[in-house]
Amino acid sequence: MTLLEELLDLKFPSHIRVSPNAQQIVYSTSLVHGHFAGDRPLSTIWLAETGVEGSARPVTSGSYNDHSPEWRPDGRAIAFVSDRGRPGQSSAIYLKSTEGDREPELLTPIEHPLATAQIEWSSTGEYIAFISVDEKSSARLDKEQVKDDANVWGEDWVYQRLRLVHVPTKSIITLVDIDTHVLKFSWNRQGTAIAFASTGTPDPESHFTQGTGISTVAVEGKEIDHICTYPRDTYDFVWAGDDIYFIAPPNPNSSVSGLVVWGINLNSSPSERVMRKIAHGEIDDAAALRKAGVDVIVQVAKDMESQLHILQGRTLFSKKTKIDAWDAAFTTDSDEMILAIARGDTNTPVEVYTTTASGGAMVRLSDHGKAFRGRHFGTPHYISCQSKSVRGEEPVRLDGLFVAPSGAQVTADGKPEQPLPTLVYIHGGPYYRNLDEFNPTEYMWSPCLLTTGYGVLTVNYRGASGRGEAFASYAQGGMGSYDYSDVIELVNSAIEQGFADRERLIVSGFSQGGYLSYLACTRNGQHEYGWKFNGAIPQDGVVDWDARTTSSLFGPSFGAEFPGKAPWKTLKTDVSGREGSAIWEFAEAERKGIIPPVLMLHGEQDNIAPVDQARAFRRALQDAKLPFEYVTYPREGHFLREKRHVVDMGERVLRFVDRHIGGK
């Protein structure tokens, strides 16, 4: 087995939950990005003792996709989502005692599958709330059988419904059956009502075009009270005390402006129940919410740190690391708070730890990365520089991380004695950021490259998370300007500091990073610093923003905001949508002879950056008789799922890097 295959077999923890008495932790694990172990995804539920090193043990077999565990309020059982009734096809809710080895008990009908992974207990333990769609009518099934099943937009919507399962009897209650598409929900503390977020239709564009409605529904009587509508999509969503909190952009008219915690006080009169900004979003960004007793805990991205705060209160955790999953709970006999956190770093695969908010020891509960325990892949170095003014704006600080391979000879200050051949990796989003983490390159390329003697540079450009609204908003109409300039400045900083070899550079990126990698091909070396990229590896990237807006799942939202506006709102003489579109810069780049060899990687069923984007660039390269490799993966979407495809992609990347910038 190759190193790449070993790395791809690593189990990554997710969906951590602390028990009601804070003495145990439950979580699930899956392969990176949930790729398949065989012909379907697999996930395992684990149980661990708080503060006990190495105590994590599996409580499900790993033969099914068991995930999203939630503690029963008495702490003696968990409910979880699983496909064990119809492996690889659909999921239901199961109940498993944490005492003994009894098989999980089915709670919801297999023939009525869940539509989302969210499940949540009522405080009494009597009900579990979940979301599912209505069963297909016999008329619809008959039409599908004879293939008389045309889909007419706006007709025959299949709505997601908010439902309850009464655990003692397993009876199903539909709480919300009006024509609205339920997205997420949260119980009140008494277990008498549920707040839910919904949008007008099941169309994936609906929450961007129609907004997200915030409502409550009573368990008894099923009365629905519509509170307000946020004009865009919303994210984490909790009902705590008299307030509903959710995460959404600070600018309700833009999907590209960072994330802030919003709140609605339900004790106000109906005319005064308005959304208000509660915390974060100016110099940092909200990332996730959890209830802990009467408090709400918020995960915050701040610069290169990941933090946990009590909402509008003290900081519980702060570290320069990526938090992959977390939860928090107060102990029953004190005001101490237990934090359960999944994290890793350059040399440590992601593991589950517990600590306390008062600064107790970080205790590792799991050992999923034991095959790599003690192995040193590289040494991380934080780098920063000032941005270059593109449109007359004031410069801002830019951050990146250079990881030098462990085999590199270093000076007394830890820097490599000689500049290193380097892969520059550009993250997607753009609302994302790379930190000190085990897998910054999505599919385990980084540890393999470090082992072979390459440096890896990750860059956080304007539009990324962690710096608040102003920094994130550079992505609005900023394609090909601020972002690309920032990549060049950070690469040049790594060169000037002696990390990266200016003669041996490859640029690569996924999604938004794929678009910037394509753009690097058509602008290669067109700056004042005198270096260029020896090759490019765009993965599921964009080369034509207008075409992406008309064809992508996110066309009406991000697709239109990134280039500035949608083509249908543009006069025919206005070509501003071409800015940042590599396909429109190709002819000039070809004449200049600056386009490097390109390895294009793309999922054939990608509905976020459709494969036509890569195909267009392949046609241009083919017509120009320039060197390229064009690889598409059948059945794959924006993220690869099939293991052989993931391995194939990684092997091609490693060969391409070896061929164009050499190794040790």
pLDDT score of 663: 53
Neighbours of 176 (CB within 10 A): 21
**Could you give the count of Cα atoms lying within 13 Å of 446 in the half-sphere of its Cβ?**
32
SS3 561: helix
CATH of domain 378-661: 3.40.50.1820
Strand pairing category for 193-199 and 181-187: antiparallel
pLDDT single digits (tens) 303-354: 999 999 999 999 999 999 999 999 999 998 888 899 999 999 999 999 999 9
* pTM of the predicted model as reported, rounded to 2 decimal places: 0.95
Does residue 596 have a cis peptide bond before it, meaning omega lies within 30 degrees of 0? no
Angle between helices 482-496 and 512-522 (to 10 degrees): 80
Alpha carbon of 354 to those of 167, 179, 362, 517, 520: distances in Å?
Answer: 31, 43, 6, 39, 43
Quick check: 612 and 630 in contact, CB under 8 A?
Answer: no
Residue 225: Cβ within 10 Å count: 14
User: pLDDT tens, 514-533?
Assistant: 999 999 999 999 999 999 99
Residue 247 · residue 225 · CB < 8 Å: no
Q: Give 406-432 pLDDT, tens digit per residue.
A: 989 888 887 899 999 999 999 999 999
**What is the chain's Cα-based Rg?**
25
Name the residue with tokens 């350059």: 346
Instruction: Parse the chain into domains and list their residue ranges.
Output: 378-661
Reference 615, options 601, 594, 627; nearest CA is: 601
- Which portions of the chain are predicted below pLDDT 50? 664
- Please report the pLDDT score of residue 314 as a whole number: 93
What is the residue type of 49? E
Residue 373 φ then ψ, to 5°: -60, 125
CB 325 within 8 A of CB 334: no
Q: What is the DSSP string of 480-529?
A: TTHHHHHHHHHHHHHHHTTSEEEEEEEEEEETHHHHHHHHHHHTTT-SSS
pLDDT reported for residue 657: 98
Q: Does an H or E element contain 292, and which?
A: strand 285-292
Count Cβ atoms below 10 Å from residue 8 Cβ, excluding itself.
20
Among 397, 388, 519, which Cα is nearest to 470's? 397
Buried b (16+ CB within 10 A) or exposed e, 301-329: bbbbbbbbbbbeeeebbebebbbbbbbbb
Q: How far apart are CA 339 and CA 504, in angstroms?
A: 43
